[in-house]
Structure 1
Amino acid sequence: MAEDGMSILACYNATFSATNDIWMTDDVIAKRVPLLCLQIAYDLLVSRFFYFILKRIRVPLIVAQILAGFSLSPTLLGNFKPIFDLFYEQQGILAIETFSNLGILYYVFLSGLEMNSDVILRSRKKGTSIAVVGIVTSMLFGVGLLTVQHKLEDENDTFSLTPKENHNEAYLFWSLALSVTGFPVLARILAKLKLLYTKLGKDALTAAMLTDAYGWVLFTLLIPYSKIGGKPFLSVISTLLFIVFCFTVVRPILTPIVEKKTSANTWRKSQLLDLLMGVFICSFITDCLGTHPIVGAFVFGLILPHGKFADMVMEMSDDFVSGILCPVYFAGFGFRLNLPFLLKQQSAGLMMLIVVLLCIPKVLSSLIVTFFFGMPARDGLAIGLLLNTKGVMAIILLNVAWDKRILDPYCFMVMMLAIILMTVIVSPLISAIYQPKFRFMQSQLKTMQKLRFDMELRVVACVHNTKHANSMIHVLEATNATRVSPIHVSVAHLVELTRHGTAILVSQMDRSDSTVGTETTNYGSQSEFESITNAFEEFVKQYNAVRIDTSKVVSSYTTIHEDIFNVAEEKRASLILLPFHKEYSTIEGGLEIINNQHCEINKNVLQQAPCSVGIFVDRGLGSLLKTKMRIVMIFIGGPDDREALSIAWRMAGHSGTQLHVLRIHLLDKAAEEKLSKTKKIKSHHGILSTVMDSVMQNELDEKYLISFRHKAVNNNDSIVYSEKEVHSNTGEEIPTLLNEIDKSGYDLYIVGQGSGKNTKIFSKLLEWCDHPELGVIGDILASTSFGSQSSVLIVQQYMIGRKTVVKQSHRESMKTGPEIL
């Protein structure tokens, strides 16, 4: 053994009790269990502490768990013998290792349960190319860098050098650990960075899953050859036969039984536990065959049905396995890192350089492949960084190589540092490359007003259920899709993410953008998704000028608006359609609250959307195939009203639509503006933050109305234009006027949301608003007290600096009272 502190990491006395004298051994419960509980508690608390510190830069939890073990290594607290002996007494080492290995078995089982083998077989050409080139490049670089590493080691330290008979295995383990990617860790990073529903995210996920699958295959083949003696070839063949048996015999038997009980909802916990005993059975078999037990656990997870059953198992065990069992295993990995031992070497600086160079192969290979596919260099760099993310496979490989002395401590710790470095830097660097606050500001204005009539209208229609889908179809039907001006609708089924599994992320990887109904999902109600898909399929059959693609957006409701933005940016949409969070009930004759969280989603989308937004309040809007639609558009002024008029103008092109545009003039006291302390504050784009230039807006309003009256009203008998005046600033004239309009009985109101208006009359009306996100007019029309039976579409035009407008106005309203947004 070495005399520099490494002996405490290399071995320990394994004889703790008398052999075959079970009744003469120590009291296990009294001596081992308290120590085990102390070790587990320390790992959990310290890993949570590190995660709390590092979560702001989006560092994965696995890194925090490794750092928890590193805190007890000889680098830190391990230098204090009383503290080290307290947590790592010899009699407690076997207990903690048994516990950690149990945890890693179930962690790998859940990873197999999350991974969809069908998606691997349908992988796209781009993702496959990135994965293959990345693997080959990493293997070649790995061999070269390990050779350099061996040249730098101290040849006088016989303990540290890799035995010559293990050199071939060392190259394989080192290169494989460098080439694999932690798919579950990467999927969660993409979800947190809100890049999951982008082309970049899908390409990175595809490449990561293929690389992960390659890692498992090579791991299965490699482990038998790492053992001294035995018949490795026979072990490999028998293990492969066992895997084939599981897929061809066990899976067809288990799948119908599991799916039947899952669909009937007749699972009892005892039956579920009996099924999960298969993890131990398969692990035992693969261990007996000469490979690693985790191979059996992974295969068993892979052959079980996905979908609702996988969700149920994950819901039951994911928190316990990932939150309690696995931290102990990852902490044990970090415990083996001894920086003083590494830094004592004369070539320590060059070794640290190797740590940095190990991050290059994936980046270099991704840049080369993305160049041939015509992708920006920024995307290639980002994919390379993402594929550097390491997970459980790399850690298991290094642990096996350590236990079998395939890698010497120098090589082990250099690769360990590289794994930690790669995983830590991914999120901060990707955030710097794709800065969230500027991600959507570089695009051109995406509004209906700027869109020519002979261009394709691109819409993102967000729905939560089938009823919302039918409502959106009626609105889209009214937008008058023609061969000259077609519509491309991207349907986003919004589903709340309630756990941290990655099975639902896998379903987003292989989507077709040109057809409907080809996507499957493993999360949320599959029947609900199919109903939504079928409804839009029927819509496409009725209108040849409509293209549809559907997808499921699964995320936390607090951040799902960012995923909606990514979809809108990816599809180059001009309009995002959102359902109102209250639903019209014909039985009760009013609006019934469905989900207040949907209201928060709408507010978040309105504040930061990369294009125009419409919120639809459905009160039974009918189909144009059955009846003529009567629409009234109320125009007061401002960019939102001009956007609303442009939508109404497009709808009026349909032969079955009648449009009445009513302009309300605010005169005398009604036109008085409310003073604002922030009136002169400008954003960095040069646009007023809270109060728009009323003179300029009036000029734009007049210009657009003149164009509308000249081109539309004079050439279409189904379009009527009229004007009304409001003089008082008491706020009573507008509701009265709206009541008079409603007597005519319209099917749909189209109004602007009204951001930027700063008149006193709107400030007073805003005090009575139940839903400020609808604006003053929209809130009145959507109110049950108004008594209207008409549906309402509230429109907000995209403008740079909209987020600043809303936030600054909110601060002003908190200081001086309510103010129109």
Structure 2
Amino acid sequence: MQELTLNCVYANQARLELSNVGQPFCHDNAFADGAVPMDEKFLFYIGTMNPLHLWIIQFSIIIGTATLLSFVLREIRQPKVIAEVLSGIVLGPTICGELRVHSISAFNSQSRPYLALTADIGLRLFFFLFGLQIEPSVVKKNLRVSGIIALAGMIIPFVTGAGLSVLLYEQFMNENIRLTYFMFFSGVAFSVTAFPVMCRILTEFKLLNTTVGAAVISAGLSNDVIGWILLALSVAMLKADSGSEAMYMILSCAIWTLILLFPVKLLLRMLATSTGSIDNGPSVLFMTIAVLIAFSSALVTNISGVHGIFGAFLMGLIIPREGNLGTSMLEKLEDMVEIIFLPFYFALLGMSTNLGFLNDGITWVYTILIIFAAFVSKFGSCAIAAKYTADFSWRESGAIGSFMSCKGLVELIVLDVGLSPGILTPRVYAMFVLEALVLTYITTPLAIRLYPPEIHKGIVFGSTTFRNVTSDDSHGSGTLRNTTVVSKRRITVVLDKVEHLPAVMAFTQLFRSRSSSTPYRSMQKRVAPSIEALRLIEISERACAVMKSPDTLLKTDHLLAILKMFGRLHAIPITTAIDIATYDSHADSVIDYAYNRGSDLIVLPWLLLPANISHRQTVPNESFLPLAHDGAGKAAAANVTVNLSARIHPRFLQSIFEHARADVALFLDRNIENSAQGNFNLHLFLPFFGGPDDRLALDFVAQLCENDEISATVVRFIRKSQNETISMTQTTELNHGSAVENPESDTADVMAWKYHTSRSASLSMSSDSSFSHIAMKECITTLPLHAAVREAHIIKQPSTRLLIVVGRTKHLQVNMDSKDLSDLIAEHGDLDEEVKKTIGDIAAAFVAANSGDGVLVLQKAGFYLD
């Protein structure tokens, strides 16, 4: 009510001053009365007669200034909140006031009520969202360890702030404010942590799935919950004239808290159930009632003597968490609050800060002392607690201390709450604001320095327990990798999009048999491979994304549930894991996971969708088109290409090909319809040109043929020039993009081919051998790619699915000709350069020629082709 009365007073004062500025306006159009845009007369007019126009001008100036500053600060990896506060400082008395443009700006004292109203609404919504961010499962996990870190980070800074406040009180404060109130408030300001800012930094630097990230999130949440309770107590004590009145305020707030926690929470759960909000996301009715109760709760706590933000925070806490309802509400409201409301609040906060008060030596001495004491007390207490209670290394403990010492918007809100009732003088307020900005600024560079990426320890996937980490010597499967012919027994399949699920299913079917009792030949000698499905979930910089629990997602993710059921129905053992990270870090997540789990092979599915490969000579095989039906599929056959998802997904695949420490397979399943018809007779076609990738493909084909219902044709293509005949034993190896004849590779190719052909010949009559299902031959030709494509169409039978298996080797080999590929693409249609770069030229030839029902592209570890 006090704020509303103040707004009315400001509005009436503005109208009175307007009447004194020349001739009063008599029209709705200010320009009709001779006003000039942005002069004093114009701004008075729009502030009284048309406040919406003033609000729009203020919004544009604030957002524009904050955005420009954020672009600059982003280059030095600083959070957006610093830019928002600095925009207010620029527009406030510190800069605009000194330049004497404040009186003619859109932020004069008469226009502040509209700015303050928007800021107050945003502040209450922010605390409502902050309550929604509190995930009990995150706080409960490792509660003992994170609780000790949080308590140490509260008690030591609180005592330090209270002790330093005695010196500040004697030097800068007046006697109207009690010392005990100032001590209590200073302790709260020293002890809080900027959890929202901390979440953004953790997300940006890919620390969410590290031990440090898990510890910081748990401890930061606990720290801030305690901090807001202490802030509410300090405000209540300040507003009370006596101890009994303060007790009355605290009891009133406690009673309202109990009302919210029990009857209101029960009614909200009943409403969420009846409206289907738990199962289907928050309904409009549920959202309306929840926001209405949030503002009502803020009003009740404000009337009771405690700040209104506490009531909104309590409302956020009691929202049901079943079915990720709280996270869903956060997603719906967070953007609006952060884009519109919070910038107003921080701009207003910056305008209330006059750094001109820091104008003498003693003030700067105490300012530096505040910064030093706040940092050392918070950093030291949290780092020592992490070191001796959770066995973190000193670097990890230092990183935890760095993140916990981040102040950001949380301390700024605390300072604003203290400025309004007069706990802080403008000078002391400016000193504390500078301290908050400095500690927020140093968080990122200090954390990077203490905890560089090369020493990150990740949490075991599917768990947020930061004691359960992947150790540096957990790559036990390194013994599985050697240079001999070894079957792939531990396979990581990546699942990042729903459209890739059919391809993943099609690949896993390669390791099953219709006869589940004897899925493989010679089970005494052969062991079925272990398939691990890694689900990738993209995380944004929003706080709602940070609060997603990996354990909960692992149990509730629809794609993983479908895949696990598919595995059970087909007797295929599939284990699942989940990784939540930014899209840019997905490739690193896949590589690290495969390495830590000791995977022999990383499988990447990719769905090729219709778009714009223009086929000039259509091969009669319309099964190329996935999801094509009847006439639509035939019409699309004349215009086919790859949906590149704005070319982002190919770069993800290329990054894995380039940096993976295990073998990589890219699976292009292009005939989903046939695979769903129960026709599982599968025939593999491998065009063997030589090189490490082709040798890997040859070994993998032999492994797949262990399955009863898979057969294969392997053709070794040898290019003959027009002037000379190349020896049948001449092959080359392409190493890191260099085209040279490598005698060592020649020998490896010859040995691999002789081994498989001899085994195929000697054991072709044995039903106990995978080679009994492999037909091998050689072909000498001047156009090997044309011959390979022609051979694929000859092999293709209507009763079987044809999967083409190729190495990712490019056309720089002596055994191939670049003109061969260009002519082939020219005959069948254009192919995007990103596609050719991703899958390699041999696979590109089959894709362009529309051959087979799918393509499996393999690359040997350590032989990336740029």
CA distance in 1, matches of 2:129, 2:148: 25
Contact 2:282 2:328 in 1 (8 A): no
State the Cα deviation string for residues 359-381 of structure 1 (Å, max 9, x = none). Answer: 34554424652565454544333
* Of 43, 46, 61, the match for 1:42: 61
In the alignment, structure 2 segments of 5+ residues that lack a partner are 1-5, 20-43, 458-471, 513-519, 610-625, 727-733, 826-830
CA RMSD of aligned residues (A): 4.6
Distance 1:477 1:787, change over 3 A: closer
- SS of residue paired to 2:200: helix
Shift of 1:315: 6.0
Distance 1:746 1:248, change over 3 A: same
* Of 391, 396, 412, the match for 1:395: 412
Give the letter for the 2:268 counterpart: L
The aligned counterpart of 1:491 is 534
The aligned counterpart of 1:62 is 81
Give the letter for the 2:665 counterpart: G
Query: How do 1:120-131 and structure 2 match up within 5 A?
Result: 120=138, 122-125=140-143, 129-131=145-147
Distance 1:266 1:604, change over 3 A: closer
The aligned counterpart of 2:364 is 348
Kindly indicate whether residue 126 of structure 2 is the aligned counterpart of residue 110 of structure 1. Answer: no
* Of 686, 691, 705, the match for 1:638: 691
- SS of residue paired to 1:548: strand
The aligned counterpart of 1:52 is 71
Query: How do 1:490-509 and structure 2 match up within 5 A?
Result: 490-494=533-537, 501-508=542-549
**TM-score, normalization: structure 1?**
0.77
Shift of 1:650: 4.1
Shift of 1:353: 5.5
- SS of residue paired to 1:577: strand
Identity, % of aligned positions = 19
Shift of 1:293: 0.8
The aligned counterpart of 1:174 is 186
Shift of 1:504: 3.1
CA distance in 2, matches of 1:353, 1:672: 84
Shift of 1:672: 12
Contact 1:110 1:301 in 2 (8 A): yes
Give the letter for the 1:691 counterpart: S
CA distance in 1, matches of 2:340, 2:723: 64
- SS of residue paired to 1:799: coil
CA distance in 2, matches of 1:247, 1:154: 39
State the Cα deviation string for residues 100-134 of structure 1 (Å, max 9, x = none). Answer: 11111122223333x15332454235xx5245324
Distance 1:88 1:446, change over 3 A: farther
CA distance in 1, matches of 2:545, 2:164: 42
Distance 1:293 1:786, change over 3 A: same
State the Cα deviation string for residues 204-228 of structure 1 (Å, max 9, x = none). Answer: 3333333333333433444323323
Contact 1:633 1:644 in 2 (8 A): yes
CA distance in 2, matches of 1:204, 1:671: 69
Kindly indicate whether residue 563 of structure 2 is the aligned counterpart of residue 535 of structure 1. Answer: yes
Contact 1:314 1:501 in 2 (8 A): no
* Of 278, 281, 298, the match for 2:293: 278
**More divergent stretch after superposition (318-327 vs 190-199):** 190-199
The aligned counterpart of 2:791 is 737
Contact 1:766 1:776 in 2 (8 A): no
CA distance in 2, matches of 1:457, 1:463: 19
Contact 1:463 1:492 in 2 (8 A): yes
CA distance in 2, matches of 1:342, 1:316: 42
- SS of residue paired to 1:82: coil
Query: How do 1:350-429 and structure 2 match up within 5 A?
Result: 351-352=367-368, 354-356=370-372, 358-364=374-380, 365-366=382-383, 368-369=385-386, 373-408=390-425, 412-429=429-446
**More divergent stretch after superposition (752-761 vs 393-402):** 752-761
Shift of 1:295: 1.6
Query: How do 1:282-293 and structure 2 match up within 5 A?
Result: 282-293=297-308
Shift of 1:50: 0.2
Give the letter for the 1:117 counterpart: E
Contact 1:43 1:331 in 2 (8 A): yes
Contact 1:449 1:646 in 2 (8 A): no
The aligned counterpart of 2:805 is 750
The aligned counterpart of 2:855 is 792
Contact 1:468 1:579 in 2 (8 A): yes
Shift of 1:486: 5.5
* Of 814, 817, 826, the match for 1:761: 817
Kindly indicate whether residue 220 of structure 2 is the aligned counterpart of residue 208 of structure 1. Answer: yes
State the Cα deviation string for residues 791-810 of structure 1 (Å, max 9, x = none). Answer: 3222233438x5xx53xxxx
**More divergent stretch after superposition (531-540 vs 301-310):** 301-310
Contact 1:109 1:299 in 2 (8 A): yes
In the alignment, structure 1 segments of 5+ residues that lack a partner are 1-11, 512-516, 521-528, 674-686, 807-821
Distance 1:316 1:749, change over 3 A: same
The aligned counterpart of 2:317 is 302
Give the letter for the 2:651 counterpart: K
Distance 1:758 1:434, change over 3 A: farther
The aligned counterpart of 1:5 is none
Contact 1:640 1:755 in 2 (8 A): no
* Of 481, 486, 490, the match for 1:457: 490
CA distance in 2, matches of 1:494, 1:509: 10
- SS of residue paired to 1:492: strand
Give the letter for the 1:143 counterpart: V
CA distance in 1, matches of 2:12, 2:274: 50
* Of 621, 624, 648, the match for 1:600: 648
Give the letter for the 1:194 counterpart: K
Shift of 1:64: 0.8
- SS of residue paired to 1:597: coil
- SS of residue paired to 2:407: coil
The aligned counterpart of 1:251 is 265
* CA radius of gyration, larger in: 2
Distance 1:250 1:474, change over 3 A: same
CA distance in 2, matches of 1:304, 1:105: 16
Contact 2:810 2:842 in 1 (8 A): no
The aligned counterpart of 1:237 is 251
CA distance in 1, matches of 2:500, 2:651: 18
The aligned counterpart of 1:691 is 738
Distance 1:641 1:333, change over 3 A: farther
Shift of 1:283: 0.9
Contact 1:371 1:380 in 2 (8 A): no
CA distance in 2, matches of 1:284, 1:787: 69
State the Cα deviation string for residues 124-168 of structure 1 (Å, max 9, x = none). Answer: 35xx524532442453144335534654x595x5xx236596433
Contact 1:463 1:578 in 2 (8 A): no
CA distance in 1, matches of 2:416, 2:544: 27
Contact 1:750 1:793 in 2 (8 A): yes
CA distance in 1, matches of 2:103, 2:483: 69
CA distance in 2, matches of 1:671, 1:233: 101
Query: How do 1:175-194 and structure 2 match up within 5 A?
Result: 175-194=187-206
Contact 1:167 1:406 in 2 (8 A): no
Distance 1:91 1:530, change over 3 A: same
Shift of 1:66: 0.6
Contact 1:110 1:318 in 2 (8 A): yes
Bigger RCO (CA 8 Å, 6+ sep): 1
Give the letter for the 1:502 counterpart: A
CA distance in 2, matches of 1:748, 1:407: 74
- SS of residue paired to 2:222: helix
Kindly indicate whether residue 575 of structure 2 is the aligned counterpart of residue 548 of structure 1. Answer: yes
